[in-house]
Amino acid sequence: EAQVTQNPRYLITVTGKKLTVTCSQNMNHEYMSWYRQDPGLGLRQIYYSMNVEVTDKGDVPEGYKVSRKEKRNFPLILESPSPNQTSLYFCASSPGTGAFGENIQYFGAGTRLSVL
Amino acid sequence: KQEVTQIPAALSVPEGENLVLNCSFTDSAIYNLQWFRQDPGKGLTSLLLIQSSQREQTSGRLNASLDKSSGRSTLYIAASQPGDSATYLCAVRPFTGGFKTIFGAGTRLFVKA
């Protein structure tokens, strides 16, 4: 089954304790992206990757790191989490093909993070 | 800077009603616009994607239109059903290179049986 898998689904941690949220897709997609969703603000893009070893900042990259060493995986790293990073996080992937911007995004089920 | 706005923030309608959800964006230089559905506690499901060269897309009871010159898109839902109750989000991909995506805050729809 084609899917985007995030782990863990729920995470409670404390300020300053490094954590990693994993994201994996089995569709051989070129593009992957991380978003956070906060009440009243919609989804905001954190980082995206257009291919292996190619990453770039979205609108809210501060406090986050990413890496793309393999095509299927795109982990999100919080080196020193703070309470303002409490949020619902989504990973997405897209084929990245199509001459006219066809880029349907497929989303994971989300990771709810609480930083105390 | 591209901004995406969705009005209304919430909408309640009786079953069977035809309805329109609105999405507006400030910069017409976009690759595409995508409509998503989000159920409580779930991820996003893509409904329709309209490329910048297109005016509309249809899937079943859903029809999405795009007017780049006015910075507007509408999602039309025909003969609404209680199962349509969800949050609907629109997102644009700006024509600035890369893979940036800008989302609206969504419209929460409730269809009453």
B66/B64 Cα distance (integer angstroms): 7
**Whether the predicted pLDDT of B1 surpasses 90:** no
Can you give the pLDDT at residue A97?
62
Digit-coded pLDDT (tens) for B34-79: 999 999 888 899 999 998 889 999 999 999 999 999 999 999 999 9
**Cα distance between residue A101 and residue A60, in whole Å:** 23
Among B residues 76-95, those touching chain A with beta carbons less than 8 Å apart: 89, 91, 93
Length of chain B in residues, anyone?
113
Query: Higher pLDDT residue, A42 or B6?
Result: B6
Of B34, B98, B99, the CB nearest to A104: B34
- How far apart CA A48 and CA A59 sit, in angstroms, is 10
- How far is A75 from A65, CA to CA, in rounded Å? 8
8 Å CB contact of B99 and A42: no
Q: Do A43 and B49 touch (CB under 8 A)?
A: no
Question: CA–CA separation, A8 vs A20, rounded Å?
Answer: 9
Mean pLDDT of B6-25: 96
Checking if the pLDDT of A101 tops 80, the result is: no
Q: Pick B44's closest partner by Cβ from A44, A102, A107.
A: A107
Task: Say yes or no to pLDDT of A98 above 90.
Answer: no
Residue type, B7: I
Please name the member of B93, B102, B104 whose beta carbon is closest to the beta carbon of A103: B93
Smallest CA–CA distance, residue A64 to chain B, in Å, is 16
pLDDT for B59 = 94
Residue B85, pLDDT score: 97
* Radius of gyration for the alpha carbons in chain B, expressed in angstroms and rounded: 14
Lowest mean pLDDT among A88-92, A94-98, B18-22: A94-98
Q: What is the pLDDT of residues A17-64, one digit of tens each?
A: 999 999 999 999 999 999 999 988 889 999 999 889 999 999 999 999
Give the pLDDT of residue B6: 96
User: What single-letter DSSP state applies at residue B52?
Assistant: T
The reply to whether B98 touches chain A by the CB within 8 Å rule is: yes
What's the pLDDT score for residue A104? 86
What's the pLDDT at A89? 97
Cβ-proximal residues to B14 (8 Å cutoff; 6+ apart), any chain: B111, B112
Residue A66 C-beta-side C-alpha neighbours within 13 Å = 30
